[in-house]
Structure 1
Amino acid sequence: MALAELMGLNEFLPSDELMTLLAEMVCEPWEATSEICDEILFLLCGYDPEQLNQTALPIILAHTPAGASTRSVIHYAQEINAEKFLHFDWGKEENIARYGQATPPEYDLSFVTCPVSLFWSDNDLLADPEDVAWLAEGLPNIIEKYRVPLAAFNHLDYLWAIDGDILVYNHVIENIQKFENAQKH
């Protein structure tokens, strides 16, 4: 059980002492090994060395990975394989018990009634532009589709990009303010 706990039995990529120790030993002390850490991040999320804040990297790695539910990761993989936006697939018997059918139903996006702004980028390996376009077609209240105007912008850049404020955050704040002002009138 100790190995399962160390690796995160119910949590995918947990943030823990092992990951912190590896980050400190491999990613911080030597330039050659820190480049390996950069490449691992880029492999998972898209290549964008210009926006990676090397000064903040030790702090980022001390909290990365932050962990995610293993079930969420499995669900994401199921949706990729099915090429549909589906409820979790529990297997035939449990699906029948939960959903009244052998396969999981698709989500009905028409029930999403809040205004939605979709932000996407060409180099985000976890949000393909075709998938974003499909999602935009299915959601009833899209107020904006915003393509980040930097070709190399990747999935993690939404969190850590050096120019995140200029490329994304200020735009998000403007949208919130527009929506708040519209609600007041």
Structure 2
Amino acid sequence: MKTLLENIAKHVELTNEEQESVLSLIETDHYKAKTILLEEGKICTHSFFVLKGILRSYTIDENGVEHVMNFACPGWWIADMYSFLSQRPGQLFIETNEEAEVILLSKENQEKLYLQVPKMERFFRILIENSLIANQQRLIDNMTFTAEARYDKFSKKYPELVNCLPQKQIASYIGVTPEFFSKMKARLLKK
């Protein structure tokens, strides 16, 4: 729980009593690799805070091709935000890439948390604002950068992920096919 409290402390300062309130409204679970925590078409009832392992969110198009939206490694949150906030069926899958330990915060308990610890509303607002900024920048990058530039930016921004993820997932995240990605990496190695 220390990792969660440290994550919260980056944005808001909680008293010991407030920390206890937060901890009383969460649950922890362990998952095997390749466990699907959320399926497309289901309502996202929890947000997930990663303690150990890597999670990813993705969608699958009509041709069966996966499109990776996000990764979450230790200290990061992940959810299908559309579904979580609206409580309507979502479009994303959330899956563990490897064995994972995750904190779950239900939508219901998050609402209770806002009432019991008003600072947590500020905390989640900051997270959502940061996520909005990151998603906007990623969209701009996808429209204006070359695949090589997107990969370079990904590698610099998330160096801890580059060697932990399957190449096809990185390719999907930067918006290229695995075949193109392989050829691109070969070209980059020659430079």
TM-score with structure 1 length normalisation? 0.27
Higher relative contact order (CA 8 A, sep 6+): 2
Structure index of larger Rg: 1
Higher helix share: 1
